[in-house]
Amino acid sequence: MFQSGRTDFTRGNVTAEFAAGGLPPPSHFAGRLAQLCRGKSAPLLRLAGGRYGLSVFGQREVREYLGSISTAAQQSSAVPALTALVGKISGDAEQKFLAEAVACLDVKANRAAVVMVWLLTVDHLQRYVLRNKLADFNAAWAQRGDCHGRAVADQDDFLELRDESAFIEILRSATIITKDVRKILDEKLGFRNTCAHPNDIIVTESKVVAAIEDLVYNVIFKYPL
């Protein structure tokens, strides 16, 4: 909006910009706008007809911000595509977590992005089991030698499993996930392990983007809460 040269706007304009970017609008938005209009160096001005405008201080901030991100935006076209996925995720907590993971790519924290999206995926699957497949999961776990009479009743109980590979094995043996989804999870678990430990492996942005899209499209979207 501001990149087009406009310096006045309504609350609806800003909400539409967030929607176009696949992001939820800020909470308590009206109060935040009012706060930004206060003070001698306020970045916003309250105009007639429910409109707001950038003060000279606000215009300076926008110019500085756009200048600081222009280089990064030219270097990576993948981040906007991933950002669009955020708005498709159900649940504010998952949306915010995925948004933070995608933001890691902006600062070249590629390994952090992988670790965060893996954690999001495991958390999502755990909650899916609790809501939809708890009996099936516990029955499959009971058939394993590492069960020792234990069962899952709440999310903390998943910590009783040896590791995440065991969690994936039980999901598959209980037919909660398909064979193809298990392959994706096994592969991405290995990638997560590589990213989570110090080593000399180069983790490229393109590989991170592919991993994020694979987990979001083929796991999180496939098993909705």
Q: With contact defined as beta carbons under 8 Å apart, do 194 and 184 qualify?
A: no
Position 143 scores a pLDDT of 95
Q: Using CA atoms, how far apart are residues 94 and 121, in angstroms rounded to an integer? A: 10
Q: Measure the CA angle with vertex 115, ends 24 and 108; round to 5°.
A: 75
Q: Using CA atoms, how far apart are residues 217 and 81, in angstroms rounded to an integer? A: 13
Could you tell me the pTM of the whole model? Answer: 0.67
Task: Pull the structure tokens for residue 158.
Answer: 């998943």
Q: What is the pLDDT of residues 162-175, one digit of tens each?
A: 889 999 999 999 99
Q: What is the pLDDT along the chain (225 residues), one digit of tens a residue?
A: 444 455 678 888 887 777 776 677 777 777 888 888 888 788 888 888 888 888 877 777 777 765 654 555 444 556 777 888 888 888 889 999 999 999 898 888 999 999 999 999 999 999 999 999 999 999 999 999 989 999 999 999 999 988 899 999 999 999 999 999 999 999 999 999 999 999 999 999 999 999 999 999 999 999 998
Position 76 scores a pLDDT of 53
Q: b vs e for 114-141, b when ≥16 Cβ sit within 10 Å of the residue's Cβ?
A: bbbbbebbbbbbbebbbeebeebbbebb
Position 1 scores a pLDDT of 47
Task: Pull the structure tokens for residue 130.
Answer: 């609790």
Task: Pull the structure tokens for residue 95.
Answer: 């949306």
Neighbours of 91 (CB within 10 A): 12
Domain ranges in the chain are 2-75, 82-220
Position 193 scores a pLDDT of 95
- Contacts of residue 197, Cβ cutoff 8 Å, sequence gap at least 6: none
